[in-house]
Structure 1
Amino acid sequence: MHSLTPCGCKGARSCILCSIDKVNHLNSKNFATDENTFIYCPFCHLAHNFHCVIDADWCESNELVTTLCRIYIRSETFNRCILECLEEHLAKKTSERLTVCGIFVFCSFMDPKYEAKIIEEIECFQWKASQSGRLKQDFGPKPNFKKKKLRLESFTGLPSFSEKLLPKLKVEANGVLDDFEAVEQCHLDYDPIRGSHIDMHYDDFWLWGDRLVTVNLLSDSIISLTHPQLPYTVLIGQPRYSVVVLSSEARNEWLHGIYPNHIIDRRVAITYRELTKEMKSTEVGRKVTEIASNFGAVQTSS
């Protein structure tokens, strides 16, 4: 179900519906000519200089997104670094490398049948217009970010399909999510028709814990990292059916976002968040954790 609200942008946020100029400006960044662009490898956990991995003549975003995600799947299949899986794409034999700790990508988390079932359940909830051309569905406590307080009256738990999805995540994540307790679930709908994207940002540190978990559905995409004190951009492929976890350095020191030209088709993302240790130890935090253990929730009101 989709909201009829044409645009949910506020302040500096924008989409094609309210400011095509800003979207075009974001799309003007050419990673193929930027020597400070790096591509993260999910196998060796290093970021390799773009020009050493992919032919710099590839300037079309759709081709970049599709090719990078195909490389990721090949790397996982053969259990090898992306540099060893690119005979037809490798531009150079050596690579300038960058270390960014805390990035994990699991490419083949679900199959098409499982995805279709999850999407069917998601579509039973109401989509609402959000910032930057996105639609959203929220299930979690309602934060007041200025006062750093939570409202719980409309929070009844997480959607029923997460009762099986969350344990599957823990099994497939090779220990990365063993003690992960999701207390907030957000569904985001991206579509190139709306110029959907998300500006570079940090998730709030006072509330959300170290691990940000995203399940990527319906299409391939790329999430980008930038650093406030370094000139580098790190591109992380998000193949369809994959899970991406940002934690430690990647979550706390690097900003993350998605450029509009890295959305090549409709994409639905399921994002799970945990509480900080400090918030979890409070009375409110314990109540949030208790509510989140219930499944079959109703949608959180705005």
Structure 2
Amino acid sequence: MMAPSSADGIAPCACKGIRRCLLCEKWKEIKHLEANVPKTVHHFLYNPETKLAIRKDAEPASFSFPGVFVWENFISEEEEEELISTMDQDVWNQSQSGRRKQDFGPKVNFKKRKVRVGSFSGLPALSHKVVLRMQQEPSLADFQPVEQCNLDYHPERGSAIDPHLDDSWLWGERLVTVNMLSDTTLTMSLEEGLPEVGLAEEVHVAVHLPRRCLVVLYGEARHRWKHGIHRMDVHERRVCSTYRELSAEFLPGGQQAELGAQLLNTTLSFQGAPI
């Protein structure tokens, strides 16, 4: 079935393949998506103080969950208002699964492993103070982002993001996200289970993200566990900014260090417009 067009000739959403939102569910053939095969999922809740994934009334009661850092009240209400107001002055492009996005970064073809500077002009001006504050955290002291992706979620669009692992050819060890406008839950998932603690079936760990917090994924939480946002966990408009750093291949000593230096020089001018 072909997607209908809106009055201005633009399809009502950007969903492709198996992805969907509330807008396209009205017309898209999704019968094959609705078949839910019963499966066992073990649910845990992340405790940022103890760094444990905790489960009530079951065994195991908890296990160590490294690789997540949450900084509550990372920005103030006034800073949040300024950031959102500035973002809303730029165009939000439709993205998959009911999201809208703004990209500040190089053009990348991950399948062919090609990076092109193109029209990339750097991170936006307001991000300068955000990045400087991140670097006050010892574990982020050397964090130099080369890409910023702003994502806009809204319950009326059924916004979500499927469980996924971010690329590790171009993007480095740490994924840093600032969560704005509403609380939400980041779901970490491991389909193959966690046999080392006696869990043979899929495991989910819910990481609560308070409004205006910063969250960092690194280590196993970055490379082993998939992360996603379920539709049911978007209750109000939510905007997040995710910052990514370069992998070792693009840093001094790496095979593409020259390109990496060019990208960083552009990025850290903080004069960027969304592409």
Same fold, TM exceeding 0.5?
Answer: yes
Identity of aligned residues (%): 42
**1:5/1:161 CA distance change after superposition, 3 Å:** farther
* Structure 1 CA distance for aligned equivalents of residues 81 and 242 of structure 2: 17
Q: Would the aligned equivalents of 1:134 and 1:196 in 2 still touch at CA under 8 Å?
A: yes
Which residue, out of 250, 271, 275, partners 1:296? 271
Q: CA deviation at 1:156?
A: 0.6
Q: CA deviation at 1:245?
A: 0.5
**In angstroms, what is the RMSD of aligned CA positions?**
2.4
Mapped to 1, the partners of 2:260 and 2:176 lie a distance apart of: 19
1:39 equivalent to 2:45? Answer yes
Q: Does residue 1:16 correspond to 2:22, yes or no?
A: yes
Counterpart amino acid of 2:178? V
The one-character-per-residue Cα deviations of 1:118-167 (angstroms, maximum 9, x if unpaired) are: 11111121100001100000000011011011110111100000111101
Match of 2:262 among 287, 290, 295: 287
- Answering whether residue 222 of structure 2 is matched by residue 222 of structure 1, we say no
Q: Identify unmatched segments of 5+ residues in structure 1.
A: 53-91
Partner of 1:143: 108
Distance 2:17 2:79 in 1: 38
**CA drift at 1:279:** 2.3
Determine if the alignment matches structure 1 residue 198 to structure 2 residue 161. yes
TM-score in terms of structure 1 length: 0.78
Give the alignment partner of residue 80 of structure 2, picking from 111, 115, 127. Answer: 115
Structure 2, unaligned runs of 5 or more: 1-7, 194-201
Specify the code of the residue in structure 1 equivalent to 2:221. Answer: A
Question: Which structure 2 residues correspond to residues 58-207 of structure 1 after superposition, within 5 A?
Answer: 96-171=61-136, 173=137, 175-207=138-170
- Contact 2:123-2:267 at 8 Å conserved across structures: yes
* Shift in Å, 1:5: 5.4
1:220·1:238 contact (CA, 8 Å) conserved in 2?
Answer: yes
- Aligned with 1:208 (options 171, 176, 190): 171
> Is the contact made by 1:5 and 1:129 (CA closer than 8 Å) also made in structure 2?
no
1:232 aligned counterpart, secondary structure: strand
- State the one-letter code of the partner of 1:270: S
Indicate conservation of the 8 Å contact 1:160/1:296, yes or no.
yes
CA distance in 2, matches of 1:14, 1:35: 23
CA-CA distance at 1:228 after TM superposition: 3.2
Match of 2:237 in 1: 266
The CA deviation string for residues 247-301 of structure 1, in whole angstroms up to 9 with x for no partner, is: 011000001101000001000001000010112331211211111111121221x
CA contact (8 A) 1:192 1:266 kept: yes
Aligned equivalents of 1:162 and 1:123: distance in 2?
Answer: 15
- In structure 2, what is the equivalent of residue 236 of structure 1? 207
2:4 match:
none
| Structure (1 or 2) with the greater strand fraction | 2
Mapped partners of 1:6, 1:224: distance in 2: 27
Q: What is the CA-CA distance between 1:112 and the residue it aligns to?
A: 1.0
Letter paired with 1:279:
F
Range moving further from structure 2, 275-284 or 197-206 = 275-284
> 2 CA distance for matches of 1:112 and 1:169?
17
Number of residue pairs matched?
251
